[in-house]
Amino acid sequence: MQNPDPAPAAPTVISRTGTAYFPIALVSRLPYAMMVIGVLTLVVAARGSIELGGLNSAMVGLGVAFCGPLIGAAADRFGQRPTLLITGALNSVVLGALAWVAFSDLPVWTVFLGSLLAGATAPQVSPMSRSRLVTIIKQDLPVQKRPRALSSFLAYESAADEVIFVFGPVAVGLLATTLGAWAPMVGAAILTLIFVTAFALHHTSAPPQSAAERAATLAPASELWRPTLLVTVLGIFAVGAFFGSMLTSLTSFMQDRGAAEQAGLYYGVMGVGSAIFAIAVAFLPARFTLRYRWPLFAILILAGTVLLQTAHDIPGMLLSLAVMGIGVGPLLVTLYSFGAHRSPAGRSATVMTMLGSGLMVGQSAAAAVTGIVADQIGTQEALLFPLYSALIALAAGLVNWALTGNTARHTAAAE
């Protein structure tokens, strides 16, 4: 008598994605993390103005703000594959052209236009990767495994972003130092062409939907304007502003000591710690809910930024960076978790792109403003901007607390 066939193994995220997915998704988001600092480095070297470089970085963020959510909406409607292939190809051309325009004799408005188009065509790999993983978890995994899997993979995605946003400026610095200020833009264009294309063609890419499928599964666009979702976008904007203001003010701090090129290395102290603590979020107990996590992690960042105001030497700066790293990674995971739970039906890529755009807009705008303050007033005044960003993140967390309310049982899996 033959034994009955064994039950098929329960599906996992990795069995659905394949192991090659994660390195492709990781490297394909590197150009995005290189753009703001790469444009700053390019324009300062080509046009000789720190202020002009900061303003062009802000134009990158402006382009992302205008077009990032539209790219996410296009992915929800037409599928990620054609959306990423088109934006990736356009972005590669724009980045290469910008490297030439900056050093040309063309008027400065052409540089601004190039920076705006670089942001407007930026492929939204990070939010689309989150959208893919969230969709796999919600559709393919057993119900009892979904909460832990969602927390774990959103933690991974946030840690991946942390690593990329730390090594993006390092890559810009290495390329600019060894080859020239044009090299980061050309390098980002090449990486986009190769890896974003590979990411677009991966089998996990969300397919397009027919008009009937969209009508049946797509929530009204008005649901994207719900207060609970908008306050989440505000929270992640504040985190982006923290990143931009912290790196810029740290660069000014190190420039005062004759070692501006070392800023990226010291920034890594916060980034590495932040990535480690972001991953650790997956192991927090469910009773420590998202509603509690947001203000607590924001307070940790705030404590680090308060300590930052007393940092007058390298050890003091490193201590404040380490404290901030404890809070910023877990807060990023928390905000993306809120975004996943609050995404209207059929608009996951749109929401994740809104969050990714908010992060980039906050980073580029804060980098521009902080750079102007550091250049025209001084480093100590520039160091206040990470503190302001932390206060905004905490205020948004308190608003979220009020909006979330006490009526439902909130878990780490469902707010």
What pLDDT was estimated at residue 251?
79
In CATH, which superfamily holds the domain spanning 21-404? MFS general substrate transporter like domains (1.20.1250.20)
pLDDT higher at 346 or 33:
33
With a cut of 80, say whether residue 21 has pLDDT above it.
Answer: yes
Nearest to 231 by CA among 385, 402, 360: 402
**Listed range (112-116, 287-291, 366-370, 395-399) with the worst mean pLDDT:** 287-291
Q: Where are the domains of the chain?
A: 21-404
Mean pLDDT, range 320-342, rounded to an integer = 86
The pLDDT-based confidence of 261 (bands split at 50, 70, 90) is low
With a cut of 80, say whether residue 167 has pLDDT above it.
Answer: no
With a cut of 90, say whether residue 73 has pLDDT above it.
Answer: no
What pLDDT was estimated at residue 295?
93
Most confident of 27-41, 288-302, 331-345: 288-302
Mean pLDDT, range 249-273, rounded to an integer = 77
With a cut of 70, say whether residue 8 has pLDDT above it.
Answer: no
What pLDDT was estimated at residue 249?
87
Q: Write the CA distances from 82 to 17, 123, 182, integer angstroms.
A: 19, 11, 29
What pLDDT was estimated at residue 408?
40
What pLDDT was estimated at residue 71?
86
Chain segment 353-373, per-residue pLDDT in tens: 788 778 878 887 888 888 888
Mean pLDDT, range 241-245, rounded to an integer = 89
What pLDDT was estimated at residue 100?
94
The pLDDT-based confidence of 409 (bands split at 50, 70, 90) is very low
In sequence order, what are the residues at sequence separation of 6 or more whose Cβ sits closer than 8 angstroms to the Cβ of residue 352?
72, 124, 126, 127, 128, 130, 131, 134, 336, 339, 340, 343
Residue 400 · residue 228 · CB < 8 Å = yes
What pLDDT was estimated at residue 180?
82
Buried b or exposed e, range 366-404, using 16+ CB within 10 angstroms: bbbbbbbbbbeeebeebbbbbbbbbebbbbbbebbeeeb
Mean pLDDT, range 6-31, rounded to an integer = 81
Q: How much is the mean pLDDT over the chain?
A: 82
